[in-house]
Amino acid sequence: MNAFDPVLKPLEWSELDERAVKAIKALAADAVEKVGNGHPGTAISLAPAAYLLFQKAMRHDPSDPEWLGRDRFVLSAGHSSLTIYLQLFLAGYGLEMDDIAALRTWGSKTPGHPEYRHTTGVEITTGPLGQGLASAVGMAMASRRERGMLDPAAAPGESPFDHHVYVIASDGDLQEGVTSEASSLAGHQQLGNLILIWDDNKISIEDDTNIAFTEDVLKRYEAYGWHTQRVDWTSGGDGYAEDTDTLAAALDAAKAETGKPSIIALRTIIGWPAPTKQNTGGIHGSAMGTDEVKGLKSALGLDPEASFAIDPEVLSYTRSVAERQGAQRQAWESAFTAWSEQNPQNAALLARLRAHELPDGWTGSLPEFEASEKGVATRAASGKVLSALADVLPELWGGSADLAGSNNTTMDGVPSFVPTEHATKKFPGDPYGRTLHFGIREHGMGSILNGIVLHGLTRPYGGTFLQFADYMRASVRLASLMGIPTTFVWTHDSIGLGEDGPTHQPVEHLASLRAIPNLDVVRPADANETAWAWRGILENRDNPAGLVLTRQNVPTYPRGTDGFGAAEGTLKGGYTLLDTEGTPDVVLVGTGSEVQLAVEARKILAADGVQARVVSMPSREWFDKQDDAYRESVIPSGVKARVSVEAGVAQGWREVVGDAGRIVSLEHYGASADYKTLYAEYGITAEAVAQAAKESIEAAS
């Protein structure tokens, strides 16, 4: 149990609470009816449960939505957006009746699915089913990591950094594979601060879920290592009573179980007590119709002709929730003040983390790599960067989806984040460790990373092969939509992967990821670009980044000598790596491992009297953010002869090279062979780049 939690036993449930719940049900029906579309049924039947959470069980303060000590709430069933909007309205988070009436309309605070940073009190954009629950696992992991950083010696439940993550999920959430991945990991991690209410109403868009979903969910979650409970408001099908006392007792039992995450299967009837559409797919995702709305209100004992109505006395009561939790807030504040005084260094760290600032001089820890023709793989360089930053950036933590040795995502000497009994000889660790092991769960990893970022204080990263970014696309897209700085590390970035063959060799992935708005795709050319890429990623908090790294060695260029430009140009997204005297005849643009081909092609062209500028463009997105003058200085508009080279599909490069330009690319899948053979066989060579340059010069003349 937590020392600062509101008391649920005995549950104080008055006539005002009953009236509030009835008002929620009517308002849910009114809002969907007004706009003509939406999801009223779940918001109606879950009204007592959501109200119990926001008014009785959760620790929060509407006047301080970013309060460090708050519990987190995730509506994984995001289609039932009214479930959270109505609670935010009642509690006083800034939503008013006009906002409820503006549901799903242009410019409203109440869009079809709750959106992070759009509506105060919404902690996450869930959208696709399953993402919310999976990300909530990340929030629970972040909470434990943050406690371990800041207050590891406190007794369980006594730290101001102890709180719960509450989730409401639907049948649909539990059918999505991403929740299986994340829930399995949550049980393994023994996340006792995670509490899930599953709305077991057995209805989805296709009506009765018996058509597709008949497993015993609680047995599955028991096998995952969760604490399981069932609350049946249907009394086994013999009636219906919204028994908030029993649900409150289940929540208390979930809080008491600190060694396992908890799931409460809440058996409800969707849309209850609507007269004819309750317990049907028709009330799941459609407006109810005028007569049905009136019938619902009559069944609730409300005026069937009144719309968007709530008694001022009820609203005054619900908006006093922070006042009613005043004793708990004061106890938390006292504990937090005492912690701050006793732990001044950690208090200073917390202040920096809350301000989202990096420490002074941190860039001095970034390694510099000596020039080398043999070079190193950029994945290896990335691993050295992470290890170098371990001491200076305690907020930086991460791991991989069972590919630690391949992704180089493990900081040297850093313990794993894992219950002590699950630590291994190779990976010693403890519950407050730092190296993450996601298992072979790429989709779950992406969602969990988002949840860690949203929790607020740390900077996580997670690695896998670039090919498997396909499994992560939904979570990558949501990170981009929310504008949060999740870092995805994708290695083995091309046919350079070699012998594993076409199933593991990404071809279309760079173009596909660049198509995601607000995602920075960063593919450094050598070790020093990799260090600068990490700097650029960590200095940015406005959106996510995908760091794309090689398996094979690439040359480390002699920066500042032999004509090579400084690797600092990486921060611009594109820069002149090697220049010519005067205006170049052709501009050669490369990314990642193919930059070396442009460098070699420049020599071939020089022997024929052709002057070529080599541009390294690790990030198209960063380059596009530069001003016109800078971009003109790198790729002059007057030089129409241009060549791009990248071991992937050509899509997206025409806008860089122009009509007269040429694109050296790969328009088919790879094969199983060593990478040098593959590059030669597929014509991705310095000679091919030089020939393309000559063709482009001719086309531009």
pLDDT at 527: 98
Tokens matching residue 200: 């077991």
Nearest of 436, 616, 588, 406 to residue 532 by alpha carbon:
616
d(CA 642, CA 589): 8
* C-alpha torsion 152→154→160→162, nearest 10: 70
pLDDT at 238: 86
Active site residues: 442
Name every residue whose Cβ is closer than 8 Å to that of residue 467 and which is 6 or more positions away in sequence. 492, 497, 503, 504, 505, 506, 509
pLDDT at 143: 98
Tokens matching residue 555: 């040359």
pLDDT at 147: 98
d(CA 404, CA 418): 15
d(CA 381, CA 386): 9
Q: Which residues of the chain have pLDDT under 50?
A: none
pLDDT at 237: 86
d(CA 643, CA 578): 15
DSSP 395: T
> How many H helices and E strands in the chain?
27, 22
Does residue 273 have a cis peptide bond before it, meaning omega lies within 30 degrees of 0? yes
d(CA 379, CA 364): 21
pTM of this structure: 0.98
pLDDT at 565: 98
Q: What share of the chain is helix, strand, coil (3-state, %, to 5)?
A: 45, 15, 45
Is 421 strand, coil or helix?
A: helix
Does residue 10 have a cis peptide bond before it, meaning omega lies within 30 degrees of 0? yes
**In one letter, which amino acid is 555?**
P
d(CA 292, CA 156): 50
CB 622, CB 571: distance < 8 Å = yes
Give how far Cα 567 sits from Cα of 270, 382, 416, 558, 616, Å: 59, 15, 33, 10, 10
Q: What is the CA radius of gyration of the chain?
A: 28
